[in-house]
Structure 1
Amino acid sequence: MTMASQGWKRFSGYSSGELSSMSFLDLLHPDDRDRIVPAAGGGSMTLGVQGRVRCADGTYRVAEWTVLPAPKSGALYVLAYAHEDSAVKESLVAEIGQLHKDIDTLAAMRDNLDMCLTMLEAYDVIGRFCQQVMEEYPGEVWITNASRNLLERVARWGERSEGALATTEPHTCWAMRGGRSHSYDPGGSGLQCGHFESPPTRSLCIPLKGSGEALGMLTTWAGSYIDDTTWSAYLRRVATMAEVLSMGLANLGLRESLRSQSIRDPLTNLFNRRYMEETLERELARAVRHGAPVGLIMLDVDNFKRFNDEFGHRAGDDALLKIGALFTKTIRAEDVACRYGGEEFTVIMPGAPLEATTQRAVEIGRAVKEIVFEEPSGARLGDLSLSMGVAVFPDHGDTLEVLVRAADMAMLAAKQAGRACVRVAEAVVPPPESQQPDSEAP
């Protein structure tokens, strides 16, 4: 049991220490358990069911029990009050109402987090639902960045502050340092965290954990005096919110990781061929609706086999990694760079006409020639260049297959022209005869 009023202690005869070490099943008369506990299974609730309480002196007295399923699987909220304690009953009725509201809100938040595809979508869900559950006091949710050296604030409610810090270092929070909840109040022994903009009267920080690692933290605070009972009841709700957040973020992180593995090339971290084809198909459909062009560049690293044979496969992998990193620096935010296979790459340029696509290919080729390929010791290796073919929808093809074939043939033309250059597709390339539909017999 996590909380008992003075009236309940007088009613049962147990001390706070005794009650904290007992389960509510220990207090129920054996004959009453089946009427109270099973009704809480399967997500249903027990509301106001009378059951006998085993008191400290061995006698049994009648109390009313309410059992609610908690968001955490297998856990229960259990509330009980004695008929003689009307003040406790009123308090518990209010708490039951709040629990009903919180359970519905947390269930909705969990469902919404399960539907999110990206962390950015999740941050919007988190801010909206934290505001609903923890509306009494301000708070924030911070998420660990990819480098794991900073916490980034992704949600904030309650007090608003223009120019508030959007990042902080994990060591500024005692909860992140210790890996467990950390509370602060002037009369306690807890230390104040350094990430608050102004010193709070009371605060609580809870690490958000998943798969054995820290995902971030949930923090809330009070700027003015608040009594112990009210603050303790509020913090129990905050702890439940943290559990739901941790589970939702961990699940989303796993889904993102699995999706990334299915669409990313493991060496260069560029998108793979599968994603390239899906994206090009989607962009072509959008281009048809809006009457816009789509540029496509096919790129092949010249003499890459010879480079591999001379300097080794590790040097070859490092070279591909550097070239892939260069693509992300030289293309627009809306462009999509992919590793098509081996030493071949593609760049999809939505909305780019022929001139812009060709110019971007020239810039990429020039930038690759400037890359210095070195051994770990610093010894310089050979230089590399790109042969590139450019095709643009709809001038050089109106389907994925035709457009890719046009860009590929233009790239082969660049190879035949001496490599290290750009060639533009000349015309729509019809499919091979083997793919032509059979004509009907006369």
Structure 2
Amino acid sequence: MNYKTQKEAAKKGILTKEMEIVAGKESLEPQKIIDLIASGQVALPANKNHTALSPEGIGGGLRTKINVNLGISKDCKDYEKEFQKVQLALHYGCDAIMDLSNYGKTNTFRRELIRMSPAMIGTVPMYDAIGYLEKELADITAEDFLKVIEAHAKEGVDFMTIHAGITRHSVEVFKSTKRLTNIVSRGGSLLFAWMEMTGNENPFYEHYEKVLEILREYDVTISLGDALRPGSTHDSSDSSQISELIELGRLTKEAWKKDVQVIVEGPGHMAINEIAANMVLQKRLCHNAPFYVLGPLVTDIAPGYDHITSAIGGAIAATNGADFLCYVTPAEHLRLPELEDVKEGIIASRIAAHAADIAKGLPGARAVDDKMSDARRRLDWEEMFSLAIDGEKARRYYESVRTADDHSCSMCGKMCAMNTTNLILEGKNIELNTN
């Protein structure tokens, strides 16, 4: 094998087995996938040590992918429950799982996750540093942070969120902005605190070349984290967000020079009327690198329903250029999600992603919708359930109130529009008052 990373292989015109699988999944010619990866418009996160991986591509011209966040915290450290969430996420078709565990020795959970998951695995090494190193934040050195990145890479992590764009300069911009919600990125806030307490530059920025060397060795895709993403609609599109985005564009090119694949992370909260312009701006500033967004949440007043505020924003974002949606659950801002929260978040994100793929005119995106519409016309309930994103729920709702006429549901009964039209077109009469 005369290449280290998927990007290096693509630049040399080599079709890897992972590229071939992605081309098949996306119904694209293999050469098209090679060209997209070589240009950086598509990333194919595939750590050489993640042997259970079913490869996926993320980027322009491909199906919109979704990520599920999982992991333990100090207050909720039930590994068995987290693995139940993993199984649920895989069952409902997630493309990636991020282990955001932030308490104790998290590598036991992460190693098992990598061993059994066909979905891409991502992490945020900054979260793990304190537990892994058993040091207080202010006592951690730049070399310590690099050790954590290397440990995650060796274990088989496919992509890592690294907040390399928050610098001493961007911190000054942030302070002058006087935000309503300050810094809401967990990793970003920890780096900000470390920089302020030590007086040092961001270690991931200062030692970016070394970070890239580690990632290149294992073919880990860098997901350039947006430490200064807006945490409220009030703060969206402000100077803090945009100044960091400009820096992320520069860091993207530096990574590509080292043949490290790149994903760029985007805003968390944003009013609907700003989303499309932000997607275009990101693609311009970050040279069409794949864009990964958390939502964005389009209003701040719906705790308990933020899977909906996120799906609205995600559909608009993906229609206008975002390539990768991070799910948001009803528990966002409130607690670690339970199993039902995870399911609701996945379904909402899949709806948003699929709706965007239809709007973008991706080949074949509308095909399943056409099949569903045809099944509805024919009142073929079994086929409808098989085509639904959540067929189990659809069946449960339908069967909860049965009607005298099995052709219809309890909403319309004998007045079912489909049945009425079908009968008339068949030359039959309809009778509404008969038992």
How high is the TM-score relative to the length of structure 1?
A: 0.21
Bigger Rg over Cα: 1
How high is the TM-score relative to the length of structure 2?
A: 0.22
Question: Which has a greater percent of helix?
Answer: 2
Greater relative contact order (Cα < 8 A, sep 6+)? 2
Question: Which has a greater percent of strand?
Answer: 1
